[in-house]
């Protein structure tokens, strides 16, 4: 054995100089004895000796297990065999008629040739996709590189790379265990090995998978693409494929005939997408999937809605009628952004299937994390911990898949415990152009799909003009996802028959490509001719199938003419049937009380200040925090963290799932929350006390996210979309950082209901406050949220009995800046107790988290109490309002600085300070009452933000409207600036002193005109 290992080791430095071209070098382990299933896939560059060892073990079990050349080699390598014994064995072998008379040097040559063949096989597995025939037009290289890898046998001369010659083509070689090209055979002639490798890896399918660091998964893929004859379809399957292709193609043809000048972003050039999706759905349904959430861009959306989700055709055609008025409030959206939810029977499996295609904006790939979040929620609510019942499919364009960073962010959520959806099937509609931009100008990577390599997702490139190859790839992709619960990518290499939209002229920028496209025969014509020539269908049967679908379209078109009004809510992608009435309206217009019983407050406080697990060792600093909470509970007080605990805990008791996500939320950016306790003695042992509050409570999910805002906020938005009975919160590490998720805020949260009639109750927690921490750790940009609030600043609303709730129902989102823990507690509870859902934006404090005055009594949260839209002055000024000379309105943390300054100036009787807690929708009724209470007192708006930021531009016109423009409201705060805050502590304090002095200088505005 030692002599064998010496010889095997010598091979590492021998003739295999070519191994550097055969694969990625590095350490490896072979799938042999003692090797785990997670072993790294071997590369021959480091494993020539391992291959010899594999052959050797096989030889030890039975000499007939290996090729005769290996038999001779191993007999000579045995240390116990003398040269005479070895020669005697060779003579005996020859006498038995076996050609085994090689000398040791000849046997060495045979072994090296076998290793060369092993290297050749691996070269195809690693780089065969570079030579695959993927472009239907035959003019482009799908990988932006026309170089054919030299270690693929494109010519006979390439054999020389391996030390092989043309005369070796008819020689028979032992196949390694890392290939399935032999089928039931263990040896093949070299020419047949090459032919089968070319068929498996260089045809219309390019398989990119050898970067995956898991032997079992690599073997699984090899078996499905290398096994001879594996890509076979029955005649029935071919007829189904043809029928689906007919529907996909004729649908686009019908739209083009009826509305030739309308934008619809047709699927022409990639009509095979529809049967591809249906194959994925069929195979997933067969594996037990009952719900599929889908996201896609605009191209082909109407076709997917019609032929995959099965939206009624007449409803689709109504979207083309410019005369139909929308029945729903809001802006609505263009037809190629709309979504759909549908439950039906899958005809192939005879099982129930629910399909949801998410509505989305034109912002490409923005919907990706939203789909993943909704998928995660649906899995959570049905107890699907392994993704066996609910899954997602994401469709992409090639330019966006490579160009949009949210794709990368979404991929990196795919295997995080609190975000994984247990595998997504990605389908890239790779039409080899981005609007007018060529791929070589749109990406630096060879393929648009290279981003998927970061999570070891296999990538199947396929020529979209070969429908059967596409169907096979989709079948394998569905099986992969259901076997390994990991992402997989299908790169559907196609073309775009027309311009970016139907009005666009692509010949301006891609003349040669579009000359070829105009000559290109439609895939339906190609495939129907193929099946007719094979005798699978007759010409008459094919024409009848076409005529049948054309008739369906014509009848739906006629029916669409009878529609008098267009209902956007019919396109709802996430219905809540048990929450609203049948008409989609709230069941009431009142809000239940948000206060709690004393016993509940005490119980939650006790759990929040203890460790419910035995023998759990916590950090001394955390122990001090818990003792502080216990002291507050004894005093019947809460700080910010405990107020939040009370709100979350009480909702859990009522059966409401609470999910808090974001960077460092488990501890809290400012070390105030500590919802996850860590055992100081046992690694990774944790305790979440919130999940130990009550028997039969709802579960609490608190999870540190990846360092992503765009992707994670989109994910949480999707999670909140699935069910109304959940408090889903996303907390920014600092409020300043939310702007990297601005697309989600602008396109989904602010306007989602107006566009898609889709309510959402997501909560954004944005730490905010000017505290000398610099321009990137100070401002949550409240002015941006207020600018997008839709309430009219020039119209004083009609005040009715449930005015405060009606205001909330009419707004697009709620913006608050709470100054007390009790109000924070109430607004969180109100979010669930409202009879409808609106996004809630909360500017949360930083320094107030430990401010001794920022405490609330249990009395402020007791039964009968509720959220205060404003907090009036409760001191001497309010008791003698006629003596008040100035009323300062403010919001948030600056109140405490104003209160301190007022006390220092002894102006408690002359200056009233009123806190605006709910900024939008604006509390017209309460503000008007306060102003009337103080008669002729001067009105001031004071904010710590700069004048061109913060709240002033929002509140000023609304104050004037409420006062009928009879009285001014003066501004006190920082001067306009470009950056949100200074980074210089001295400047910060000087600015603060300056506007505090102005706030309490009662002559500051004398003589100024209104």
What are the backbone angles phi and psi of residue 945, rounded to the nearest 5°? -75, 165
Q: Give yes or no for a contact between 876 and 909, defined as CB atoms under 8 angstroms apart.
A: yes
State the pLDDT confidence band at 715, using cuts at 50, 70 and 90: very high
State the pLDDT confidence band at 447, using cuts at 50, 70 and 90: very high
What mean pLDDT comes out for the span 311-323? 86
What mean pLDDT comes out for the span 139-163? 77
Judged by average pLDDT, the poorest of 76-80, 187-191, 698-702, 737-741 is 76-80
Q: What is the pLDDT of residues 346-359, one digit of tens each?
A: 999 999 999 999 99
What mean pLDDT comes out for the span 534-554? 97
* Listed residue (318, 394, 367, 748) closest to 571, CA to CA: 318
What pLDDT is attached to residue 41?
Answer: 47
- How many angstroms separate the CA atoms of 947 and 941, rounded? 11
Q: Which CATH class is domain 873-999?
A: alpha beta
What mean pLDDT comes out for the span 428-432? 91
What pLDDT is attached to residue 51?
Answer: 63
Q: Give yes or no for a contact between 739 and 705, defined as CB atoms under 8 angstroms apart.
A: no
Q: Is the pLDDT of residue 657 over 80?
A: yes
Choose between 971 and 586: higher pLDDT. 971
Q: Hey, how many other C-beta atoms are within 10 angstroms of the C-beta on 743?
A: 18
What pLDDT is attached to residue 148?
Answer: 65
Choose between 35 and 559: higher pLDDT. 559
* Listed residue (674, 701, 695, 690) closest to 607, CA to CA: 690
State the pLDDT confidence band at 9, using cuts at 50, 70 and 90: very low
Judged by average pLDDT, the poorest of 244-253, 324-333, 906-915, 953-962 is 324-333
Which pTM was predicted? 0.89
What pLDDT is attached to residue 261?
Answer: 78
Q: Is the pLDDT of residue 8 over 60?
A: no
Contacts of 929 (CB under 8 A, 6+ apart): none
What pLDDT is attached to residue 146?
Answer: 63
- How many angstroms separate the CA atoms of 629 and 606, rounded? 8
- How many angstroms separate the CA atoms of 471 and 479, rounded? 12
What pLDDT is attached to residue 49?
Answer: 52
Choose between 664 and 563: higher pLDDT. 664
- List strand residue ranges (DSSP E) for 622-762, in order: 637-638, 657-662, 677-678, 686-687, 700-704, 726-731
- How many angstroms separate the CA atoms of 847 and 436, rounded? 51
Q: What is the pLDDT of residues 294-311, one digit of tens each?
A: 999 989 999 999 999 999
What mean pLDDT comes out for the span 208-214? 96
Average pLDDT score over the chain: 89
Q: Which CATH architecture has domain 598-768+817-861?
A: 3-Layer(aba) Sandwich (3.40)
Choose between 67 and 658: higher pLDDT. 658
State the pLDDT confidence band at 40, using cuts at 50, 70 and 90: very low
What pLDDT is attached to residue 77?
Answer: 59
Q: What is the pLDDT of residues 478-522, one digit of tens each?
A: 999 999 999 999 999 998 887 777 777 887 887 888 788 889 899
State the pLDDT confidence band at 2, using cuts at 50, 70 and 90: very low
What pLDDT is attached to residue 60?
Answer: 78
Handedness of CA 255, 261, 266, 270 (dihedral sign): positive
Q: What is the pLDDT of residues 78-109, one digit of tens each?
A: 654 444 444 444 433 433 333 344 555 777 77
The number of residues in the chain equals 1010
Q: Which two tokens stand for residue 330?
A: 């809001």
- How many angstroms separate the CA atoms of 762 and 141, rounded? 45
Q: Is the pLDDT of residue 31 over 60?
A: no
- How many angstroms separate the CA atoms of 491 and 477, rounded? 11
Q: Is the pLDDT of residue 768 over 80?
A: yes
Contacts of 499 (CB under 8 A, 6+ apart): 505, 506
What pLDDT is attached to residue 76?
Answer: 64
Q: What is the pLDDT of residues 937-987, one digit of tens each?
A: 999 999 999 999 999 999 999 999 999 888 999 999 999 999 999 999 999
What pLDDT is attached to residue 327?
Answer: 65
What pLDDT is attached to residue 644?
Answer: 98
Question: Cα 298 to the chain's mean position, in Å?
Answer: 18
What mean pLDDT comes out for the span 155-166? 86
What pLDDT is attached to residue 103?
Answer: 58
Torsion region of 584: left, alpha or beta (phi above 0 gives left; psi -120 to 50 gives alpha):
left
Choose between 891 and 100: higher pLDDT. 891
Instruction: Say if 598-768+817-861 and 873-999 have the same CATH topology.
Output: yes
Q: What is the pLDDT of residues 833-855, one digit of tens each?
A: 999 999 999 999 999 999 999 99
Domain boundaries, the chain: 2-226, 235-571, 598-768+817-861, 873-999
Residues pairing with 701 in the sheet: 659
What pLDDT is attached to residue 42?
Answer: 42
Reading across the β-sheet that carries 911-916, which strands appear in turn? 870-871, 911-916, 886-890, 938-946, 970-974
State the pLDDT confidence band at 145, using cuts at 50, 70 and 90: low
For 89-112, give the DSSP string.
HHHHHHHTT------HHHHHHHHH
Q: What is the pLDDT of residues 894-910, one digit of tens each?
A: 999 999 999 999 999 99
Choose between 208 and 437: higher pLDDT. 208
Judged by average pLDDT, the poorest of 36-50, 383-397, 621-635 is 36-50
Q: CA angle 278-209-372, nearest 5°?
A: 50
Q: Is the pLDDT of residue 402 over 80?
A: yes
pLDDT > 70 fraction of the chain, expressed in percent and rounded? 90
What pLDDT is attached to residue 3?
Answer: 36
- How many angstroms separate the CA atoms of 266 and 255, rounded? 9
pLDDT > 90 fraction of the chain, expressed in percent and rounded? 72
State the pLDDT confidence band at 19, using cuts at 50, 70 and 90: very low
Query: Under CATH, what is the fold of the domain 235-571?
Result: Rossmann fold (3.40.50)
- How many angstroms separate the CA atoms of 32 and 368, rounded? 40
């Amino acid at each position: 054995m030692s002599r064998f290992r010496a010889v095997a080791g010598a091979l590492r430095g021998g003739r295999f100089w070519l191994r550097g071209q055969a694969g990625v070098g590095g350490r490896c382990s072979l799938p042999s004895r003692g090797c785990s299933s997670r072993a790294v896939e071997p590369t021959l560059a480091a494993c020539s000796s391992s291959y010899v060892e594999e052959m050797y073990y096989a030889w030890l079990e039975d000499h007939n297990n290996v090729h005769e050349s290996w038999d001779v080699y191993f007999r000579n390598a045995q240390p116990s065999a003398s040269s005479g014994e070895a020669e005697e064995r060779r003579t005996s072998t020859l006498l038995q008629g076996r050609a085994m008379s090689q000398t040791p040097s000849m046997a060495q040559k045979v072994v090296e040739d076998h290793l060369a063949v092993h290297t050749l096989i691996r070269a195809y597995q690693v780089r065969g996709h570079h030579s695959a025939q993927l472009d239907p037009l035959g003019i482009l290289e799908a990988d932006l590189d026309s170089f054919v890898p030299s270690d693929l046998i494109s010519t006979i001369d390439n054999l020389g790379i391996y030390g092989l010659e043309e005369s070796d083509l008819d020689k028979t070689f032992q196949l390694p265990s890392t290939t399935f090209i032999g089928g039931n055979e263990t040896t093949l002639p070299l020419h047949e090995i090459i032919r089968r490798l070319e068929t498996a890896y260089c045809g219309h399918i390019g398989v990119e998978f050898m970067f995956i660091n898991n032997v079992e998964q690599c073997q699984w893929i090899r078996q499905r693409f290398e096994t001879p004859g594996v890509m076979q379809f029955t005649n029935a399957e071919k007829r189904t494929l043809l029928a689906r292709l007919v529907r996909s193609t004729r649908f686009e043809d019908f739209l083009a005939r009826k509305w030739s000048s309308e934008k619809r972003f047709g699927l022409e050039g990639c009509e095979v997408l529809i049967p591809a999706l249906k194959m994925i759905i069929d195979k997933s349904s067969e594996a037990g999937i009952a719900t599929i959430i889908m996201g896609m861009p605009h191209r082909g959306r109407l076709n997917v809605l019609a032929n995959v989700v099965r939206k009624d055709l007449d409803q689709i055609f109504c979207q083309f009628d410019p005369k139909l008025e929308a029945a729903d409030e809001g802006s609505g959206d263009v037809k190629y952004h709309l979504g759909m939810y549908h439950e039906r029977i899958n005809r192939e499996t005879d099982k129930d299937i629910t399909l949801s295609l998410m509505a989305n904006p034109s912002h490409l790939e923005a919907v990706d994390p939203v789909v993943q979040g909704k998928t995660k929620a649906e899995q959570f609510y049905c107890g699907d911990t392994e993704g066996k019942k609910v899954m997602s499919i994401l469709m992409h364009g090639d330019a966006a898949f490579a160009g949009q960073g949210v794709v990368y962010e979404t991929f990196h959520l795919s295997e995080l415990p609190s975000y994984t959806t247990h595998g997504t099937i990605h389908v890239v509609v790779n039409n080899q152009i981005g609007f007018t931009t060529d791929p070589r100008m749109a990406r630096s990577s060879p393929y648009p799909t290279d981003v998927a390599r970061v999570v070891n997702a296999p990538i199947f490139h396929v020529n979209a003009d070969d429908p059967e190859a596409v169907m096979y790839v989709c079948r394998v992709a569905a099986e992969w996802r259901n076997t390994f619960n990991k992402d997989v990518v299908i790169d559907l290499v196609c073309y775009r028959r027309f311009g970016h939209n139907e009005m666009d002229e692509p010949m301006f920028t891609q003349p040669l490509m579009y000359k070829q496209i105009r000559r290109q025969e439609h895939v339906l014509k190609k495939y129907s001719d193929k099946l007719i020539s094979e005798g699978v269908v007759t010409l008459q049967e094919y024409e009848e199938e076409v005529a049948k679908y054309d008739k369906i379209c014509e009848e739906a078109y006629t029916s669409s003419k009878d529609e008098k009004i267009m209902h956007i809510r019919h396109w709802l992608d996430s219905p809540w049937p048990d929450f609203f009435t049948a008409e989609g309206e709230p069941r009431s217009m009142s809000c239940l009380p948000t206060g709690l019983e004393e016993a509940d407050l005490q119980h939650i406080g006790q759990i929040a200040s203890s460790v419910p697990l035995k023998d759990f060792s916590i950090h001394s600093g955390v122990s001090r925090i818990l003792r502080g909470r216990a002291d507050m509970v004894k005093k019947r007080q809460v700080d910010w963290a405990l107020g939040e605990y009370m709100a979350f805990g009480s909702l859990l008791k009522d059966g409401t799932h609470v999910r808090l996500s974001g960077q460092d939320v488990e501890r809290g950016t400012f070390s105030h929350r500590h919802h996850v306790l860590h055992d100081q003695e046992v690694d990774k042992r944790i305790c979440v006390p919130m999940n130990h509050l009550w028997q039969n409570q709802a579960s609490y999910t608190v999870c540190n996210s990846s360092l992503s805002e765009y992707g994670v906020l989109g994910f949480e938005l999707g999670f909140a979309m699935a069910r109304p009975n959940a408090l889903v919160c996303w907390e920014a590490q600092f409020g300043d950082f939310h702007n990297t998720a601005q697309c989600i805020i602008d396109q989904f949260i602010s306007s989602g209901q107006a566009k898609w009639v889709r309510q959402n109750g997501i909560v954004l927690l944005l730490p905010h406050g000017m505290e000398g921490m610099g321009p990137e750790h100070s401002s949550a940009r409240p002015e941006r949220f207020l600018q997008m609030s839709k309430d009219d600043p020039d119209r004083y609303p009609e005040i009715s009995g449930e005015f405060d709730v009606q205001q909330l129902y009419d707004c697009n989102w709620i913006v608050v800046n709470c100054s007390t823990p009790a109000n924070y507690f109430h607004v969180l509870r109100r979010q669930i107790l409202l009879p409808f859902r609106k996004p809630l934006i909360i500017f949360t404090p930083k320094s107030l988290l430990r401010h001794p005055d920022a405490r609330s009594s249990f009395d402020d949260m007791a039964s009968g109490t509720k959220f205060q839209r404003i907090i009036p002055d409760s001191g001497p000024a309010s008791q003698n309002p006629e003596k008040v000379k100035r009323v300062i309105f403010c919001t948030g943390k600056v109140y405490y600085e104003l209160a301190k300054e007022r006390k220092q100036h002894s102006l408690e009787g002359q200056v009233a300070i009123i806190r605006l807690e709910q900024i939008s929708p604006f509390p017209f009724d309460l503000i008007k009452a306060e102003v009337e209470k103080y008669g002729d007192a001067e009105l001031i708006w004071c904010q710590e933000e700069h004048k061109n930021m913060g709240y002033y531009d929002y509140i000023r016109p609304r104050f004037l409207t409420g006062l009928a423009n009879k009285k001014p409201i003066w501004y006190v705060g920082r001067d306009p600036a470009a950056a949100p805050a200074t980074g210089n502590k001295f400047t910060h304090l000087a600015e603060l002193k300056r506007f505090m002095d102005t706030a309490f200088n009662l002559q500051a505005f004398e003589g100024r005109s209104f």
